[in-house]
Amino acid sequence: MKVKSIRGFHDILPENIKRWHLIEDAAKYIFELYGFSEIRIPVLEFTDVFARSLGTTTDIVEKEMYTFTDRDGSSLTLRPEGTAGVVRAYIEDSMHAKSSISKLYYTGMMFRHERPQKGRFRGFYQIGAELIGPEEPASDAELVAMLWRFFEEIDLTQFLELEISSLGDQNCRPQYKEKLVGYFSPQKNELCEDCQRRLETNPLRILDCKQKRCKEIAADAPSMLDNLCEDCENHFDSVKENLDSVGIPYKINPKIVRGLDYYTRTVFEITTDQLGSQNAVAAGGRYDGLVNELGGPATAAVGFAMGIERIILLQEIALPEGFGKDVNVFIAHLGDEARQAAFTLAFNLRNKGISVETDYATKSLKSQMKRADKLGASYTFIIGEDELKKAVIKVRDMKESSEEDIKLEDIINSSDKFKS
């Protein structure tokens, strides 16, 4: 029987890797402009790190974690997200003692045992950023602006909408939750089974339910934004003012609740209407209580993560087919002597920073031209007996479909022109 990959896990193949690099390079470029440094943390943590961070009644902790018992009996979990591990590292490495502000970004695979569908995997990649230390609203706005700038950099904002809201804090959210319970309780029997349970455990999640009847009932529910305490309201106003001042377009969506329990105040999502139900491309928010919750000093923080696979799906709509095929030169050769000349020329051109492909065996010109085409070569060099005698190369510009003979020494001396 042939071996196969696990359901919900996937390979990223060489033909797609250029798209991945484009995203990763743009994130690195933009995030570092904003003062963020990369952190690499383990994929495996004690289960407790996630259970205490994300909330024991969240879908992730209740049913989606890949958890197993280690040989010594300790419970370990493959990370379902990056924030908890980053905060664990922040505390363990005493980063608070080194600087009052830590700006960290990360990229890597996350694991959630969800039902796989388009844009939803069990093993998927995130790029995330965490800004730990400041509580001022300018830090929320800077982070959101950075995220939007990233999407501008990779030219996808045409498909995206930034939605923001506030979830309040420990002063105003408990009262709001009570109001919600008061609102939903008389209609409890009409709610789906999950929401009936959420009414006891986490009534905010009812606002997020995708079931038709729950949605209808939730439409008229009281809004968190009408129930913020003064401090939270001022914070939210200031975040919006800061975003306005740099022209970041956003929509206020009071129904954002997020699937993790650590959030306080600002929450945001970047959504698209191009991917069906998996419409969140990036999401995050403020989590002022988490560092303390995990045993560190009381420290404010705000962050986000984006799903790379979902960004790739958008890129496939936005970028022309054949993107990432970027061999500069293909050298076709006819005869043994020409093959040897091609081998040397390829070596010399690569030393000058030109990407070159050539065949190892002697094949027909037709089959070599086919391969040049497939590789998306910008130029094809042809070396035959005639060319060898005259010490020239027949250079075909594949875009212009033009051909000219160029002296071998001129090719080496002005090789830069073949870089594009």
Q: What is the DSSP string of 247-270?
A: T---EE-TT---SSTT--SEEEEE
Binding-site size for ligand HAM (CB under 6 A) equals 26
CB of 307 to ligand HAM, least distance (A): 3
Sheet of strand 392-397: strand arrangement: 356-358, 329-333, 379-383, 392-397, 402-407
Q: Which has the closest alpha carbon to 395: 383, 386, 409? A: 383
62 near 259, Cβ under 8 Å? no
For residue 62, give the DSSP letter. I
Please choose, out of 21-29, 119-127, 228-236, 358-366, the segment that lies near ligand HAM by the rule CB under 6 A. 119-127
Binding mask 242-271 for ligand HAM (x = CB under 6 A): -----------------x------------
The only residue of 22, 51, 81, 145 in contact with ligand HAM, by rule CB under 6 A:
81
Read off the tokens for 134: 């400041």
The only residue of 156, 164, 283, 332 in contact with ligand HAM, by rule CB under 6 A:
283
Q: Which is nearer to ligand HAM, 258 or 339 (CB)?
A: 258
Does 82 engage in binding with ligand HAM (CB under 6 A)? yes
Does 140 engage in binding with ligand HAM (CB under 6 A)? no
Q: Which is nearer to ligand HAM, 10 or 197 (CB)?
A: 10
Does 108 engage in binding with ligand HAM (CB under 6 A)? no
240: how many CB neighbours lie within 10 A of its CB? Answer: 19
CA 172 to chain centre: 32
Site for ligand HAM in 287-316 (CB under 6 A): 287, 303-307, 309-310
CB of 252 to ligand HAM, least distance (A): 19
Q: In degrees to the nearest 10, what's the CA dihedral of 226, 228, 232, 236? A: -20
For residue 117, give the DSSP letter. B
Q: Which is nearer to ligand HAM, 269 or 387 (CB)?
A: 269
Which residues fall within 8 angstroms of residue 417, CB to CB, at 6 or more apart?
none
Which residues fall within 8 angstroms of residue 2, CB to CB, at 6 or more apart?
none
CB of 114 to ligand HAM, least distance (A): 5
Residues within the interface to ligand HAM (CB under 6 A): 81-83, 112, 114, 120-121, 124, 126, 128, 130, 259, 280-285, 287, 303-307, 309-310
